[in-house]
Chains A and B, each alone.
Chain A
């Protein structure tokens, strides 16, 4: 419902104003990432242009995947950080220490269902648009493009893998789907 401003039609002014606010809520864009990300990831925003005027009005001011994901990228990096903490604590074999136990309990709470899957299902449309826009303006030229390009490949695979995994999950666990575990 909130993505209709992307259509190339002449919306009245009142609809444009309301849509802009609704999109910010719908895409979970709560952090000021447009000011934070360019210096952090060394992005040159002056040379970036939107795909069209309608995309510009719908908060896709550039075609860069990092800037288009915005707050979603921060959520994704936070989930990845949780996995890194689990991995490091497993490698260091310090699971039983007091503070490590507390840290693991804080970070590893239900990573699968309300972590990765919740993230992908909740932000599937946003991820799709970000991947499509970045793929449209894909280039290997600058070193600052390395991280956005890696993200593009990762999210492209994830977007295809999620429906495939869903089919596999439903096919293999069809009879046990009503169990409390799921």
Chain B
């Protein structure tokens, strides 16, 4: 069931779009659909647990809670609450919940980015240290090689082709071929 999360993601968006478009003149009905949609998502997340990491699960639950709170505020902005000051106060409350959620998520993203940057810097420093060690080792080896000159090997020159031919011709003059006796019929 956890693999169907992308499908649920798309379905939820279709439902939200259709509700907001089709019931734009019947706001309370549209809000009801938004609540049901969100509750369905919460039930799916709680029962199926589609996220492997605990952190992702917490973030998703936080988002769900924020959206439910936002939708509650939407009920308060209908004609059920006529007082202007109360509506303004509820407006600030809605902004607080939304901004808190956004700040929390953005801060998390920034922390992840900073951690990655620190890890990359550390890896670079480690790499440069290893490089320096290798360089110093190589320099030592080159110094040693310069200090102890290698004895020159005596390399015999390969015999030239003309000399080989001459030798061959001399050998052929010295040992003439002996004709083999032909087999005769008795």
A contact residues vs B (CB 8 Å cutoff) = 1, 3-4, 6-15, 18, 22, 51-52, 54-55, 121, 124-125, 128-129, 132-133, 162-163, 166-167, 170, 174, 177
Contacts and interface: CB of A to CB of B under 8 A. Distances in A.
Contact of B24 (A11, A52, A162): A52
A1 B70 contact: yes
Given A1-B67, A1-B98, A12 B77 contact: yes
Could you tell me the dominant secondary structure of chain B's interface residues?
Answer: helix
B52 to A, nearest CB: 10
Contacts of A128: 13-14, 17
A154 B123 CA distance: 47
Given A11-B91, A12-B88, A129-B17, A6 B7 contact: no
A14 B34 CA distance: 23
24 contacts: A1-B101, A3-B20, A4-B70, A4-B71, A6-B21, A7-B20, A7-B24, A8-B27, A9-B74, A9-B78, A12-B88, A12-B90, A15-B94, A18-B98, A18-B99, A22-B98, A22-B102, A121-B6, A129-B20, A132-B21, A133-B21, A166-B7, A166-B10, A170-B3
Task: Bin the interface of chain B by size.
Answer: 35 or more
From A1, A10, A11, A124, name the one whose CB has the most chain B CB atoms within 10 angstroms: A1
Interface of B: 3-4, 6-7, 9-11, 13-14, 16-18, 20-21, 24-25, 27, 30-31, 34, 66-67, 70-71, 74, 77-79, 87-88, 90-92, 94-95, 98-99, 101-102
